[in-house]
A and B are shown apart, each in its own frame.
Chain A
Amino acid sequence: MDERTKESISALMDDEANEIELQRLLSKEDPEALLDTWQRYHRMREAVNGHEGLNIQVDISAAVRSEIERDEMPFDDTEGSLAYDGHRVSEGHEAAALGSEQHSDDSDQSSSHNFVGLSLAGDGMQTSSTAQTSNSYATVVEPVRFDKNESTEDDGLSVGAKSQTLKYSSFALAACLMLAVFLSLSFESPVEGDQYAITDGLVVNVLTGAESANFNEYLLRHSERSTVRANYSMAPLVRVASVNSVGI
């Protein structure tokens, strides 16, 4: 990646990139290198601004691309929201979303999170069927038209060619990345004491507090016995110590 490209990314972060620069970036650069630099600059900025720890590492561009290839995005000009009426795959794991999160009080939906807009699961596609905007993120995400007919074969983002669209999609990319981080952090595990997976006769439990303590006790006994013999010599008690705050 040459200096000029880096300059452009830098300018893009400050919303000072002009359309030509943006065009060039998105069409010429290797998407992976581009994303990597983009993330790195953000981390630097976060660090300088004293917001350390927010690591933008979630890459949803591939998921975005495949989603675009699969479906065309309905475009709602009047509401100013990214409305996507897709289908939901139940029980996504680490979900990242573009759009806003809506906490539903409806009892029938209480176990799953509803995302407004387009949400992408880490290991599969998850799209929400809710299409109403509810809070602040909707103001971040400007209308974006994803048009697969206009996109080039190999640009990493498959955004439309119109300049207006491009400008917004850079916003959208930023919003995607940020929200991906926030939402993957806030995404909760299933209800405590529940069973969440049964495959091939294997039952997997989610532990309650008391059970966690019990788990740790076993772990201590197991680790303690492994101490002398372990070849893989990360201090065996690390596993016990790490869950110490949960119980024992």
Chain B
Amino acid sequence: MNILGGLGFRLPSEARRNASTWVSRVCLLPIFLLVLGAMTSVSASAQEERSAEDWIKSMHAAGVHASYRGTFMFSRGNMSSSMRIVHRFYEGQEQERLTQLDGEMGEILRRGSEVMCLVNGQRLIQLDKQQFESPSQSVFAQFMPGHKHYSLLKDGYERVVNRPSVKLSIKSKDALRYSYYLWLDEASGLLLKSQIVGQENQVLEHFQFSMLELPTEVSDSEFEFDMDAEKLTHESIPMSRPDDRWPEQLVWKSTWVPAGFMRIDATASTQNVMLYSDGLANYSVFVEKKKANALPVGASLVGATVAYVAEFEYQSHTYSVTIVGEIPPMTAMKVAKGVQPTMLENGEKGG
């Protein structure tokens, strides 16, 4: 009655305290508690034994192998958008399609290592990245975040998108990285909701499914772009933009790596793109010639993502070092300032 009252459906005040309301509630309550108790006792005993690490492993596995379809909200900084996602593991590769549901139409399609972006059904943007096809990539897939740098713990069980989920709290132990709250589907381990939080526990990035079909059957047709072939323009973004004028012996070294991070693309053939990870957060280092409309020097932030740009003068050329990742701007700044050029000795080859 109280709710109806609040909604403007007025009842006489005597009716507000109508006894029948609470009588019916009192009758229903024990039944509800019984059902709830039975449900939780079954699932709790099975799930209680799994550690936070086990859950992270199953989150990773589900992220790759699960077939699902859903919509989710994603907010970072002051931007928030809803997106649709379809995902499956098919013939040995991950396939994924992301569709922006707000604002300008944008889609991203991934088939294995091939990534395409389609903007407004007309601009097709692809990454030119032949040089990054590397079989060693998956070696680091199970690289776990260290207890030295994060405290991992199970933080209870909650209901998310109408599914029972386990909440993981992954708190950073220093200011070099962010903390995470993850809600994983109890049945599959799939990430249902996540928050990246900063030092003052402020939420920098928030991801949450609002609808999820899991498990589900996903068909081939769901991974076909609806393109306007006549108007379609192709664009290609090179993964690496080395300066033509670079001497062949010039390589770049990152002399300051935040504790707990390690380079995970050791086989990369180029020396000017590097990827580091601490098991949860990743950042890339790009060293390039300075280009037009480059990002301004300093940190640019969108939610938990930073792009930090520093410029270097070396042998009368200006190079820009860009750090991109989900790390605090201070960490990115230190990394950027620690990137140094080195001339290799004769005969030594980069890589």
Contacts and interface: CB of A to CB of B under 8 A. Distances in A.
Interface stretch (B36-44, B78-86, B223-231): B78-86
Contacts of B325: 222
B333 A202 contact: yes
A10 B17 CA distance: 12
Contacts of A203: 297-299
Nearest to B304: A239
Interface in B70-89: 72, 74, 76, 78-79, 81, 83, 85, 87
B329 A245 contact: no
Given A231-B143, A233-B64, A240-B117, A221 B284 contact: yes
Contacts of B300: 204-207, 211, 215
Interface string B314-333: 00000000101100011001
A4 B7 CA distance: 17
Interface stretch (B55-63, B242-250, B339-347): B55-63
Interface stretch (A40-48, A143-151, A154-162): A40-48
Contacts of B85: 235, 238
Given A220-B237, A221-B286, A241-B106, A248 B96 contact: no
Nearest to A213: B293
Given A218-B324, A232-B280, A244 B119 contact: yes
B2 interface: yes
A9 B100 contact: no
B100 A14 contact: no
A227 B132 CA distance: 12
B145 A44 contact: no
Contacts of A220: 115, 117, 127, 237
Nearest to B134: A228
B46 interface: no
Nearest to A204: B299
Contacts, number: 220
B17 A44 contact: no
A246 B324 CA distance: 18
A60 to B, nearest CB: 17
Interface residues of B, number: 94
A243 interface: yes
A221 to B, nearest CB: 6
B295 A232 contact: no
A195 B301 CA distance: 11
A29 to B, nearest CB: 14
B166 interface: no
Nearest to B325: A222
A191 interface: no
Interface in A64-86: none
A10 to B, nearest CB: 4
Interface string B276-318: 0101111110100000011111111110010100000000000
B275 A225 contact: yes
A7 interface: yes
Nearest to B332: A202
A89 interface: no
B251 interface: no
A13 interface: yes
B5 interface: yes
Contact of B284 (A45, A222, A235, A239): A222
A48 B62 CA distance: 38
A189 B99 CA distance: 27
Contact of A214 (B143, B281, B294, B305): B294
Contacts of A195: 296, 298
Given A7-B17, A221-B127, A240 B302 contact: no
Contact of A215 (B103, B207, B280, B302): B302
A10 B60 contact: no
Contact of B299 (A48, A205, A224): A205
A226 B330 contact: no
Contacts of B21: 3
Given A202-B333, A232-B280, A233-B64, A244 B117 contact: yes
B329 A204 contact: yes
A200 B137 CA distance: 37
A3 B299 contact: no
A218 B127 contact: no
B163 interface: no
A241 B98 contact: yes
Nearest to A229: B140
Given A44-B6, A225-B284, A232-B182, A237 B115 contact: yes
A241 B83 contact: yes
B239 A202 contact: no
Contacts of B348: none
A156 to B, nearest CB: 20
Contacts of B140: 229
Contacts of A246: 79
Contacts of A239: 76, 305
A238 B72 CA distance: 10
8 contacts: A14-B5, A203-B299, A205-B295, A218-B307, A228-B137, A232-B194, A233-B63, A241-B107
Interface of A: 3-4, 6-7, 9-11, 13-14, 41, 44-45, 48, 123, 189, 193, 195, 200-207, 210-211, 214-215, 217-222, 224-235, 237-246, 248
